[in-house]
Amino acid sequence: MRLLPLAVVLGVSLYSAGFWVVDPLLQPSREDYRAAECAIRGDWLSGDAIVVIPWWAARIREFVGDLNFIQLRNPQAEDWSTYSRLWVVSLPGHRYDLGTYPRLKKIRAGALEIDLYDLPTPARVIYDFRDRLGDARVLMREPPGPRQCSRWVENRWICSRRDWNYVGRMIVELGDDPRKIIWAHPADDPIEIHYQSVPGGKLLRVHTGFTPPAARAQDGAPVTLRVLMDGRELGRVVQQNLTGYFPAEWDISAAGPGPHQVTFIVSSPRGGMRHFCFDAQVRG
Amino acid sequence: MRLIKRHENTMIALGLALATFGVLFANAPELGLTRDEGYYVDAAEHYAGWFRELSKNPGRAFSDAVISRHYEINREHPVLVKNLMALSYLALAPPRTLSPSWPPDKRGAYVRAMRLPADLFSALCVALVFLFGAAVASRRVGLFAALAFILAPRHFFHAQLACFDMPVTLMWLATVMAFRKAAGSWKWSILTGLIWGLALAVKLNAFFLPVVLGLHWLITEGRQFSLSRRGLKFPRIPLAFFCMLVLGPVVFLLHWPFLWHDTIARLGWYLGFHLNHINYYWEYFGKLLTDPPFPWAYPFVVTALSLPLPTMLLATFGFLALLGRRLGRPVRTGLQLLARLGGMKTATVADAKVTSEVTTDVGKNDAWLLILNTFIPLLIIAIPTIPIFGGMKHWLHAMPFACILAGLALDRIVQALPGEMLGRLHLTTRRVFTAVAGLILLPSLLGLVHIGNYGTTYYNELAGGVAGGADLGMQRQYWSNDISGALPWINEHLPSGARLYLHEVNGECFRSYKRDGYLRGDLRMAWTPESSDFTAYLYHREFVDTEYRVWNLTGNHKIAHGLYLDEVPLALVYDLKRSSK
């Protein structure tokens, strides 16, 4: 019994020393990454996406960062409905099984493991409002009358000199992950984003959310996103003061093939710290 | 030889200090500049101007205008360390010119001069840990504690910085050591007051030291409180407290020229700054802690995950064992005090048990010094309204005591080994202690070598190392120094005159990198990714949007160059021009 404390201390010390000796030996080499790159590029198809496990691992992006890379903490919970296949690159000690989808192949690249999953037939994106933001007309609906944000600078329609007051293509953190969105911070008056000549489809899908700093604001007011098609309201989302990436969708099949005029109206009773973001697609 | 024998502990302390200083001084140019160092070296250069003025025109140097001109900058911290940096800068730093050629003839002379005082403070701190451990327990405990302290990778990292955390750790420890010897001694009481004054002159942590020493007095002398018909009787208040009360503020005021004029207002500003300090955001188990209340467990959890596991385990053993042995006493003393206050006869309250208490290796006073100085600094940060940014550096001054507790625990474990077993194996407790201590310290050394100069990324074996820290979502970078590992690639690959945005690197550090030969002179500093040709991003949960802005600009996630430790990204360099083509 008197030996037990010593045994514990020795055991912990040996484990700890071994940890610093063994752990570095298990890490992937540059050659492993090159092999992973070859495997991915050799079988890459349009509609593929790549995630890495754990989410913080970045070296793979030196090799395939130009491909469709998506940084996610939890790929299992993601909506993959616009992708056809998913590559999952995982580091030692971080093996991951995207169990709900059939695995097409499993490749070992040294210490790296690469799984290719077959996703259900992807939804066809007919019109991506974020991609087409440059074609939109943006208005600040303020007294005495609406004012157009007519200056397009680096991915955004500038509405005033205030550094948040624009409608722009951004990548921001919503929830815990980066998302490609349209930044549409309402002021005390609504912002309108008008798109002409939008083709018809089956669904109009949106995601909404606040950035984490906005969601931390104690008195953060909700933001309402109204979606109008050809002047008629399709629906609205009242985004409560939460960070995240919240989906909503409307059936637009009855509206016909178009072209349609689609308007997004973003408003809030109080505009302070309303870092509101959304994306939207017409899907076939 | 006899002299050495007589002063063996002093010699060992000197050896430890010299070895520590040598390693820190040699490594100084290898470690990147932290953001705070950027501000402090800038301030030190301003303060150097005052010393120049003092040497040329002493009469003018004491005027408010001259003092304010030099000392207005970085007035949120006292200036003892920065003054020493200023003197070191004046004596040792090369002239302020950019090297016309690349690569430069030599590099790092400026940062080495600025870090020299911190190296000395840290070397002395290691020596004092040894001396204190030797004084309260034994030489081997002291030696183990000193090595455990400096080999802990986070401690070693902070030991190198031209900042105040290791200096205040030294001054805290020195004050406690002086206080320990001050009972009934005028000389040591005065020294306690003076050293505490110097501690105040380093960093505000020292304001909390009287709380610890006061508690120590209450606990160790509590039995002498009494209330009877003759009134309330206090134990004798230590002379050192009076000396601290008088000398501490005097030293503090004297060391800081900026306080020599308009004293009340400037002192008020200094205290107000810290009383109303903003909360910098901090990542903890994947969540960004932004506003109070902060988790009370924070300092304990971070210590458990960032002190090498064997040291942490032993320190915990040592703390609990010593506390357990002492706890009987205050519980009884408390009851006794209550009884006396209630007018009961004290003899009814377990006095007999007190006298029969088992003696321990460490005396009562020393035991409580170790317990309180280990626990209170963490407890202060555990208060939910206290800002928590900066991680373990804010309770670094507890770690010498924790390491001594670890040494004591090891000593007790070895002492408890059956003598007959040791005899059979021809072993002595000393040999066993040495061998086991070596094995315990090995993970610290291996961890330190592995993480090199990226000290804030260190998480221990319990956390799963650097990658484990990332998995757990713990803060792993915040001071921008990790950029130093990416500078060689940047110097080699960036085109002439390229605009470079170094994320989190402030202007002071950028300029220092250029003047000291770490960064090519032709590279221009950009203040945002949008205005840069190249951006080097350092992961920091609070500022992840910086990287997302880069992705938004380039349209993809391609990295031109990365610096990784156990695959955890430390610095990612993006080529914005090439990617956006």
Tell me the per-residue pLDDT of B237-262, one tens digit each, with 9 for 90 and over.
999 999 999 999 999 999 999 999 99
CB-CB under 8 Å, B439 with A61: no
Across the interface, whether the CB atoms of A62 and B558 are under 8 A apart is answered yes
pLDDT at residue B513 is higher than 70: yes
Query: Does A91 lie at the interface with B, CB-CB under 8 angstroms?
Result: yes
Could you tell me the residue ranges of all domains in chain A? 26-118, 125-283
* Chain B: closest CA distance from residue A6 (Å): 6
pLDDT band at B106 (very low <50, low <70, confident <90, very high): confident
Distance CA(B310)–CA(B438), nearest Å, equals: 11
Q: Which of B377, B364, B336, B365 is nearest to B238 (CA)?
A: B365
For residue A154, list chain B residues with Cβ-Cβ distance below 8 A.
530, 553
Cross-chain CB nearest to A2 (options B417, B465, B562):
B417
- Asked if the C-beta of A164 comes within 8 angstroms of chain B's C-beta atoms, the answer is no
pLDDT single digits (tens) A92-113 = 999 887 878 999 999 999 999 9
Tell me what the pLDDT averaged over chain A comes to: 95
User: Domain residues of chain B, as ranges?
Assistant: 2-94+112-404, 481-580
Calpha distance A77→A80 (Å, rounded): 9
- Looking at the complex, does the CB of residue A163 fall below 8 Å from at least one CB of chain B? no
From chain A, the residues in CB contact with B557 under 8 A are 61, 65-66, 69, 71
- What pLDDT digit, counting tens, does each position of A115-133 carry? 999 999 999 999 999 999 9
C-alpha distance from A142 to closest chain B C-alpha (Å): 29
Cβ contact B435:B422 at 8 Å: no
- Is the confidence at residue B355, as pLDDT, over 70? no
Contact across the interface for B461 and A171, Cβ inside 8 Å: no
Task: Find, in chain B, the residue whose alpha carbon is nearest to that of A177.
Answer: B544
Over residues B175-203, the mean pLDDT reads 97
Closest residue in A to B567 (Cα–Cα): A57
- Among A65-69, A233-237, B219-223, the minimum mean pLDDT is found in B219-223
At B357 the pLDDT is: 34
Instruction: Out of A192-206, B218-232, B319-333, pick the least confident.
Output: B319-333
B360 pLDDT higher than 60: no
Residues of chain B neighbouring A21 (CB-CB closer than 8 A): 446
Cβ within 8 Å, pair A58-B308: no
CB A165 within 8 A of CB A266: no
Q: Do B562 and A54 touch (CB under 8 A)?
A: no
Cβ contact (<8 Å) for A10 and B439? yes
The residue of chain A with its CA nearest to that of B440 is A13
Q: How far is A245 from chain B (nearest CA, A)?
A: 16
Q: Determine which helix (DSSP H) or strand (DSSP E) holds B225, and give its type and residue range.
A: none
Q: Is A9 on the interface with B (CB under 8 A)?
A: yes
| Chain A, window 57-86: residues with a beta carbon less than 8 angstroms from a chain B beta carbon | 57-59, 61-62, 65-67, 69, 71
- Over range B82-102, report the average pLDDT: 86
Q: List the single residue in B with minimal CA-CA distance to A131.
A: B555
In chain B, the residue whose alpha carbon lies closest to the alpha carbon of A65 is B558
**B288 contacts on A by Cβ (under 8 Å):** 212
Nearest CA in chain B to A171: B548
- Closest-CA residue of B relative to A175 is B287
- CA B483: distance to chain centroid? 22
| Burial zone of A219 (CB within 10 Å; 0-12 exposed, 13-18 middle, 19+ buried) | exposed
- Give the nearest partner residue to A171 out of B286, B417, B552, using CB atoms: B552
Nearest to B282 by CA among B35, B544, B542, B537: B542
Which A residues in the span 167-186 are in contact with B, Cβ-Cβ below 8 Å?
A: 169-173, 176, 178
User: How do residues B310-349 score in pLDDT, each as one tens digit?
Assistant: 999 999 999 999 999 888 766 656 655 665 555 444 443 3
Handedness of CA B259, B262, B263, B269 (dihedral sign): negative
pLDDT band at B371 (very low <50, low <70, confident <90, very high): very high
pLDDT band at B230 (very low <50, low <70, confident <90, very high): confident
**Phi, psi angles (nearest 5°) of residue A198:** -90, 125
- Token pair, residue B107, equals 């590099």
User: Which among A9, A66, A216 has the least Cβ separation from residue B556?
Assistant: A66
B287-289 vs B282-284, strand pairing mode: antiparallel
CB contact under 8 A, A58 and B436: no
Contacts of A56 in chain B (CB under 8 A): 470, 539, 568-569
Closest CB from B309, B413, B558 relative to A6: B413
pLDDT for B267: 97
B573 bridge partner residues: B536, B561
Q: Which residues of A touch B436 (CB under 8 A)?
A: 6, 9-10, 13
Contacts of B419 in chain A (CB under 8 A): none
DSSP string, A211-225: -HHHHH-TTPPPEEE
Q: Which of B311, B567, B573 to mutate to test the interface with A (most CBs of A within 10 A)?
A: B567
Q: Is A14 on the interface with B (CB under 8 A)?
A: yes
Q: Point out the residue among B290, B308, B553 whose CB comes nearest to the CB of A16.
A: B308
Of the candidates A168, A194, A141, A139, which has an alpha carbon nearest to the alpha carbon of residue A276?
Answer: A168
pTM value is: 0.93
Q: Does A27 touch chain B (CB under 8 A)?
A: yes
Residue type, B343: G
Residue numbers of A between 182 and 241 with CB closer than 8 Å to B: 212, 216
Class in CATH terms, A125-283: mainly beta
Chain B residue numbers touching A171 (CB-CB < 8 A):
548-549, 551-552
- Taking contacts as CB-CB distances below 8 angstroms, the residues of chain A near B562 are 58-59, 61-62
Q: How far is CA B563 from the centre of its chain?
A: 26
Taking 60 as the threshold, does the pLDDT of residue B580 lie above it?
Answer: no
- For residue B359, count other CB atoms closer than 10 A to its CB: 8
Q: How far is CA B450 from CA A22, A48, B454, in A?
A: 11, 37, 9
Distance CA B253, CA B580 (A): 57
pLDDT in the model for residue B333: 65
Q: Please state the rounded mean pLDDT for residues B423-439.
A: 95
Residue B130 CB partners (closer than 8 Å, separation 6+): B9, B12, B13, B16, B142, B143, B145, B146
Interface size between A and B, measured as CB pairs under 8 A = 132
Measured between alpha carbons, how far is B566 from A29 in angstroms, rounded to an integer? 11
Q: Does A37 touch chain B (CB under 8 A)?
A: no
* CB within 8 Å: B558 and A27: no
- 8-state DSSP, B467: H
Asked if A20 has any chain B CB less than 8 Å from its own CB, the reply is yes
Which pLDDT score, from 0 to 100, does residue B332 have? 57
The tokens of B226 are what?
A: 């009494």
Residue B341: predicted pLDDT? 58
User: Confidence class of residue A188 from pLDDT cuts 50, 70 and 90?
Assistant: confident
Q: How far is B507 from chain A (nearest CA, A)?
A: 23
Q: Is A26 on the interface with B (CB under 8 A)?
A: no
CA torsion sign for B16, B19, B22, B28 is negative
Q: Do B557 and A3 touch (CB under 8 A)?
A: no
CA atoms within 13 A on the CB side of B424: 5
